[in-house]
Amino acid sequence: MHPDVGRRRVIIEGIQPAIDAGRFPIKRTIGEQVVVEADIFTDGHDLLSAVLCYRWTRDPVCTEVAMAPLGNDRWQGRFSVSQLGRYLYSIQTWVDHFATWYEALRKRVEVEQEVQVELLIGAELIEAASQRATGADVAELQERARRLRMPLESGSLAQARLVLEDETLRRLMALYPDRRFATTSPGEFAVVVDRDKARFSTWYEMFPRSCAAVPGQHGTFKACEARLPYLARMGFDVLYLPPIHPIGQVHRKGKNNATVATPDDPGSPWAIGSAAGGHTAIHPQLGTLDDFRSLIATAQEYGIEIALDIAFQCAPDHPYVQEHPEWFRWRPDGTVQYAENPPKKYEDIYPFDFDTAHWQALWEELKRVVCFWIEQGVRILRVDNPHTKPLCFWEWLIDEIKASHPEVIFLSEAFTRPKVQYQLAKRGFTQSYTYFAWRHTKEEITRYFTELTQTDVREYFRPHLWPNTPDILTEYLQHGGRPAFLIRLVLAATLGASYGIYGPAFELCEHRPRSEGSEEYLDSEKYELRYWDLEQRHSLQEFMARVNRIRHENPALQSNQSLHFHTVDNPELLCYSKSTADRSNVVLVVVNLSPYHVHSGWVELQLDTLGLDPIQPAQMHDELSDARYIWHGARHYVELHPQVVPAHIFRLRRRIRTEQDFEYYL
């Protein structure tokens, strides 16, 4: 055994946050804190010291901060992250013989025990520290050790009292601890630090080909530029475009997913690649690469970033199929295996065969695709169906990209089983689609968002909420009328720091399904051009602008960790709050989940969560209606009319003034 083994007596356990014992990093954005806790203890009664050590991976040295005991052998320390990229943290702890001695001395002095020998023991500890000290501290410590060895005439108790009051001694001893037998946590734990938009973003998905000013025309990037003021007015800061690449001709789908297309049908943008090019080419009808770069630049002027769709799959006429047959699975009849979910077949799509022996070349090529778009100025990537590619591929790809571009955001579009969805986030995706679209009842929403925001999941999985997508028109939206859209918008925008809508279908309350029981849109833009008349009276654009302004003005809504559900005695009414860490901004939301009926009930607030005094009244400012209420205590009556406004978004303004605030009161 190593000669130190038996003397490393301190245990470190239960480190949090730590995803799968540190196998995966946690996530933060710049300026956020990492609060680290661990069980730290040893045998016997000795006192311990512990430090949290952290560093930005590009820094060669660690910074140490003292950890403090929380009780029950739980310790805590914290640091803030200020650089993009990765941080590492670990814990070191040791038996603190001086602190043990000091505390014992204090107890002995309290009962006026004889402490002559204890002072000599203290002198030894101080002498030993002086040998670890540097500069003037050496002499300072030696002088103190010497003094402890010379009995005072007033006696050892009086001398001990002087020692206990010597703050310099404590400070110096803390500077030079004996760490020879310190215990260090196993390995270092990683933090991926992203920019703010990873945490707080407001997305708008739109088909560029449907942006033409004239019905029937194929939209272009130029036409998209004309749409930017409209999006900016509504408060969106990310414009996400479905794939912009050439669309395959072979097995192209027709309107409403017809198996056979007419010559006029534009095909699905997700059937990528044709003679015109593949994943690094642009669909000619949308414009040129210059047009695309111009769109990025103009969007930037409106505070909007362009998010690109990364769909790693090919149309049968994609150039890869000829150039790299080894990246596809070939069937015994000499054809390429198309996508399928038996018995369903998707013959317009060839998936890559990630089981190929040539997987390394395939990985490198897909990385080249991502790098190409980064070079064009794209910094946000929405990844299509990542759960149908190996999880280890994503970990590699995202790590590779973020090593040189830590500002890139990857959004995982994985509507798959929960463990796979979470795993993609663990492997590196910055944000993730959720099951939000299918969570409608109070029970469903409360349970799901408690899991997302109040468990370990929140350390690595950043939920992104979409009430609709080109693939998902929920029954709730199909049948709930305009109120259903209002309700789902408020929920998405306030439950999720990041949310997005697929427009203009959303703000125009498009609700016709392809068929009874289907969640597909009728006349879906996936298969045809659509012309949208944006200025219809029932459009939600004003409401969305207001909700998004509330999100921008209330930092509480820009993260999810503080989400707390409050009790309401009506199952159709949902109430929850979010607040900043210092409670300088507190938002309370009440939503009528029924798009059909007026509902009322009594909210039971958990006052301490809101930082509210049980006695003092407070002003609740409904930022949706601009109404102001004076609330007092925990129970409050609410009543919401879905046809008017189905929700309150209250900002806690302040306590109510009393006569004591009146100028002449004193």
Q: How far apart, in Å, are the Cα atoms of 597 and each of 278, 374, 473, 474?
A: 51, 49, 22, 19
CB of 312 to its own copies, least distance (A): 12
Among positions 245, 389, 439, 551, the unique one binding its own copies when judged by CB under 8 A: 389
For residue 150, state whether it binds its own copies (rule: CB under 8 A).
Answer: no
Diameter of the chain measured on Cα atoms: 109
Binding range to its own copies, per CB under 8 A, among 104-112, 229-237, 269-277, 309-317:
104-112
CB of 546 to its own copies, least distance (A): 40
Q: Please give the structure tokens belonging to residue 398.
A: 């995202």
Chain center to CA of 359: 31
For residue 255, state whether it binds its own copies (rule: CB under 8 A).
Answer: no
Among positions 16, 30, 41, 195, the unique one binding its own copies when judged by CB under 8 A: 41
Q: Choose, from 32, 96, 384, 507, the residue flagged as catalytic.
A: 384
CB of 478 to its own copies, least distance (A): 28
97-110 helix and 116-132 helix, angle to the nearest 10 degrees = 160
Residue (49 or 562) nearer to its own copies, CB: 49
Kind of pairing between the strands at 26-29 and 380-384: unpaired
Binding range to its own copies, per CB under 8 A, among 169-177, 273-281, 416-424, 637-645:
416-424
Closest CA to 121 of 140, 138, 104: 104
Asked if the bond preceding 3 is cis, omega within 30° of 0, the reply is: no
Determine what percent of the chain falls in helix, strand and coil, rounding each to the nearest 5. Answer: 35, 25, 40
For residue 108, state whether it binds its own copies (rule: CB under 8 A).
Answer: yes
Among positions 99, 120, 138, 545, the unique one binding its own copies when judged by CB under 8 A: 120
156-164 helix and 116-132 helix, angle to the nearest 10 degrees = 40
Specify the 3-state DSSP secondary structure of 488.
helix
* Pair 28, 44: CB distance under 8 Å: no
Specify the 3-state DSSP secondary structure of 446.
helix
For residue 438, state whether it binds its own copies (rule: CB under 8 A).
Answer: no
Question: Exposure of 74 by Cβ count < 10 A (0-12 exposed, 13-18 middle, 19+ buried)?
Answer: middle
CB of 420 to its own copies, least distance (A): 6
Among positions 20, 196, 301, 542, the unique one binding its own copies when judged by CB under 8 A: 20
- Site size toward its own copies (CB under 8 A) is 60
Binding range to its own copies, per CB under 8 A, among 8-16, 400-408, 471-479, 618-626:
8-16
CB of 657 to its own copies, least distance (A): 44
CB of 436 to its own copies, least distance (A): 19
For residue 512, state whether it binds its own copies (rule: CB under 8 A).
Answer: no
For residue 44, state whether it binds its own copies (rule: CB under 8 A).
Answer: yes
Binding range to its own copies, per CB under 8 A, among 34-42, 126-134, 150-158, 209-217:
34-42
DSSP secondary structure, 323-384, as one string: H-GGGSPBPTTSPBPPEEETTEEETT-EE--TTSTTHHHHHHHHHHHHHHHHHTT--EEEEE
Q: How many CA atoms lie within 13 A of 641 on its CB side?
A: 3
Helix (H), strand (E) at residue 463:
strand 463-465
Residue (414 or 586) nearer to its own copies, CB: 414
Residue (417 or 538) nearer to its own copies, CB: 417
CB atoms within 10 A of CB 530: 18
Among positions 156, 412, 423, 579, the unique one binding its own copies when judged by CB under 8 A: 423
CB of 584 to its own copies, least distance (A): 36
For residue 275, state whether it binds its own copies (rule: CB under 8 A).
Answer: no
For residue 117, state whether it binds its own copies (rule: CB under 8 A).
Answer: yes
Chain center to CA of 19: 15
Among positions 146, 368, 405, 417, the unique one binding its own copies when judged by CB under 8 A: 417
Binding range to its own copies, per CB under 8 A, among 53-61, 150-158, 419-427, 648-656:
419-427
276's CB contacts (< 8 A; 6+ apart) are: 246, 283, 284
Q: Choose, from 348, 413, 525, 572, the residue flagged as catalytic.
A: 413
Residue (104 or 138) nearer to its own copies, CB: 104
* Pair 563, 578: CB distance under 8 Å: yes
CA–CA separation, 169 vs 153, rounded Å?
Answer: 22
Chain center to CA of 103: 44
Size of the chain, expressed as the number of residues it contains: 666
Binding mask 324-343 for its own copies (x = CB under 8 A): -------xxx-x----xxxx
Active-site residue, 413 included: yes
CB of 160 to its own copies, least distance (A): 12
For residue 262, state whether it binds its own copies (rule: CB under 8 A).
Answer: no
Which positions lie near its own copies, rule CB under 8 A?
1, 3, 5-9, 11, 13, 20-21, 39, 41-45, 72-73, 95, 103-104, 107-108, 110-111, 113, 116-117, 120-121, 123-124, 181, 331-333, 335, 340-343, 354-355, 357, 359-360, 363, 387-393, 417-420, 423
Report the catalytic residues. 384, 413
